[in-house]
Homo-oligomer: A and B are copies of this chain.
Amino acid sequence: MVKVGVIGCGYWGPNLIRNFSNLKTCRVIACTDLLEERLNHMKQLYPGLRTTTNFREVVNDPEIDAVVIATPVSSHYGIAREALDAGKHVFVEKPLAQSLDEGRKLLELAQKKDRTLMVGHTFVFTAAVNKIKDVIWSGELGDIYYISSSRVNLGIFQDDINVVWDLAPHDISIMNYILNSRPASIAAMGQSYIRPGIEDVAFLLLKYPQSTLANIHVSWLNPNKIRSTTVVGSKKMLVYDDVSSLEKIRIYDKGVTVTPHYDTFGEFQLSYRYGDISIPRLDDAEPLKIECQHFVDCIEKGATPRSGGKHGFEVLLALDAANRSMRGRGAEVTIDYPASLGTV
């Protein structure tokens, strides 16, 4: 039985409390928020819950095994550091931290303290994303040529981060996960239309090993909500439409084949293949529930989370590279992965 304390009961915290509360191997002991009103609301929903406006009472509570952080990103580092120092396991909402330096320190601290550190990259717990990973690694798609992703909508404009830091963490986390890889370089072009200095439209080009190219288009300025990812392989192609409720994934038995030359005068021969489309049925389970269960399981088994500190830090490295490329007028930025991250 893992005993959990939750820091932050604003927009997302209650969803985490609800899901952790419903797990059989976990108990939510306490929660904290700066606003008494939010704490009263939580107490009404969960009468046995201890509440306090002082997060240190949770972080230092000897009964508590794990701390769940759902506060603004600027406070992630400070709270997570104190929790790890106090020997707690830590779940922190995405992104892991506000800077590379903060992220690296949290990762190192968790390793040193031998505690579980997990980041709330929820997409890697969805049925759709796991189906895509399975399909890719089964070899059904063949070699992965490129991935093209669009995540656009009207708003919601953020005050302090640009559209890349707001929306691209989803795509980068998904791509790193399904490819079981990480980009070697990023080139990014962005533009600020609504607020000077905060990009609201951006295009990213990520180069993964083995000649896999990935494109990400993020925008707060689009009339339609689009969340679409196309994976083009040498054998088949797959389209993931996260806006669709019932038909999220389509696998196209389509492709182009290069025919080997038979003689030196032979032309470059291509043959096109147009086959069936299949739409696999996906499980309906709530991804957040799976995510919470995964955190508790990792603590109990000492396992490395799917979206652990390393995964979260690698996303930070890509976001940081994208920002630097945008400042450099789109020049390609190579990402240096610290040796401590290992190779994929």
Chain A residues near B (Cβ < 8 Å)? 44-45, 47, 145-146, 148, 154-155, 157, 159, 187, 189, 191, 193-195, 201, 203, 205, 211, 213, 215, 217, 219-224, 230, 232, 237-239, 247, 250, 252-256, 258, 267-268, 270, 272, 274-281, 329-332
CB-defined contacts of A279 to chain B, threshold 8 Å: 276-279
Partner of A247, one of B193, B230, B254, B277: B277
Q: Which of B205, B222, B274, B329 contacts A203 (CB 8 A)?
A: B205
Q: Is the CB of B148 within 8 A of A217?
A: yes
With A145-B221, A187-B330 already in contact, 9 other A-B pairs whose C-beta atoms are closer than 8 Å:
A157-B270, A193-B232, A194-B258, A221-B232, A222-B237, A223-B232, A223-B239, A276-B278, A330-B332
| A113 CB to nearest B CB, Å | 37
A199: min CB distance to chain B, Å: 11
Which residues on B sit within 8 Å (CB–CB) of A232? 193, 201, 221-223
> Could you write out 14 A-B pairs with CB less than 8 Å apart?
A145-B201, A148-B219, A155-B272, A157-B270, A193-B232, A203-B203, A203-B215, A222-B232, A223-B250, A223-B252, A247-B277, A275-B281, A276-B279, A329-B332
The contact of A278 among B222, B237, B270, B277, by CB within 8 Å, is B277
CB of A272 within 8 A of CB of B154, answer yes
Are A222 and B230 closer than 8 Å at their CB atoms? yes
Knowing A201-B213, A215-B203, A330-B205 touch, does A193 contact B277 (C-beta < 8 A)?
no
B157 and A256 form a contact (CB under 8 A): yes
Q: Is the CB of B213 within 8 A of A223?
A: no
Question: Are the CB atoms of A195 and B268 closer together than 8 Å?
Answer: yes
**B contact residues around A329 at 8 Å (CB):** 332
- Bound complex: CA A247 to CA B145 (Å): 25
| Closest-CB distance, A295 to chain B (whole angstroms) | 26
Residues of B close to A44: CB separation below 8 A? 45, 47
Cα A252 to Cα B154 in complex, Å, equals 11
Partner of A146, one of B193, B213, B330: B193
Residues of B close to A277: CB separation below 8 A: 247, 278-279, 281
In the complex, which residues of chain B have a beta carbon less than 8 angstroms from the beta carbon of A223?
230, 232, 237-239, 250, 252, 254
A201–B331 Cα distance when bound, in Å, is 19
What residues of B have a CB within 8 angstroms of the CB of A148 in the complex?
A: 217, 219, 222
Instruction: Report B-chain residues with C-beta under 8 Å of the C-beta of A254.
Output: 154, 223
